[in-house]
Amino acid sequence: MATEFAPDDQQLDGKTAIVSGAGALEGGIGNGRAAAILLARAGARILAVDRDLDRAAETAAMIEAEGGEALAHAADMTNEADCKAVAELAMEKFGRVDVLDNNVGIGSSGTVVDEVVEVWERVMRVNVQSMFLAAKFAIPAMIASGGGGAIVNVSSISALRPRGLTAYSASKGAVISLTRAMAIDHAPDGIRANCIAPGPVYTPMVYGRGMSDAARALRRQASPLGIEGTGWDIGNAVVFLSSARARYITGQTLVVDGGITVSGPARDPNV
């Protein structure tokens, strides 16, 4: 007889989730903050990690205001010692690690001819090395916790549909490959690793750089659905991939883009 799940099988009660990039600009809702809040609503205890402690603390406060449990922590996820400390803190404060949600990332633009070597190196360090280091220390903690685990890495549709952002596209492609490698390497430990490739979601990172109403409308119109994606859309995908509903899913890339990658010509790189 096929295994059936109870209606609350998406709940993460008793689980601990490390969410990197959990802060957001201007009190807004970015991918990491949305994921942290939604994971908490599903019952998980959250270690909200951000380079900026105030932003992480704001996320933790939002979770606590809803009755959830969260701890804010400042860390540079490109730093090995900081990533080790994050995993150790989760074990010390919560006694286990079950979910790792990697959101840290920066953008870039230009071709291989245009790009500056220092920028290329920084993009690779922030977008790829941060996820490598976070997993390097979270995975042993998951194994020690005895219940397997779930890793969700945030990539981008730019990895699947390059659009003039060469270093960024290459880094996000590396995230997908890294995720697939971790899925194979750690399946025997009961750990699943999956990737989310967001489309042009409207987050503080986007509007914090300044965006006209016309540019925002173009982003919305790029979706065949004609709707605008938000951090909540990415957060909901994180909860799904972290839950028992995704128990048979690993090594996959879930595209969350309103259908943009199947809609025809490539978008304007500024959209």
Catalytically annotated residues: 168
Q: How far apart are CA 144 and CA 91, in angstroms?
A: 9
Nearest to 161 by CA among 80, 247, 266, 253: 266
Q: Which residue intervals of 151-195 are DSSP H helices?
A: 166-186
- Could you tell me the two tokens for 69? 């449990």
Residues 6+ apart with CB under 8 A from 78: 104, 125, 126, 129, 130, 133
Nearest to 67 by CA among 33, 42, 34, 84: 42
Report yes or no: 271 and 222 within 8 Å, Cβ to Cβ.
yes
Q: How far apart are CA 50 and CA 59, in angstroms?
A: 10
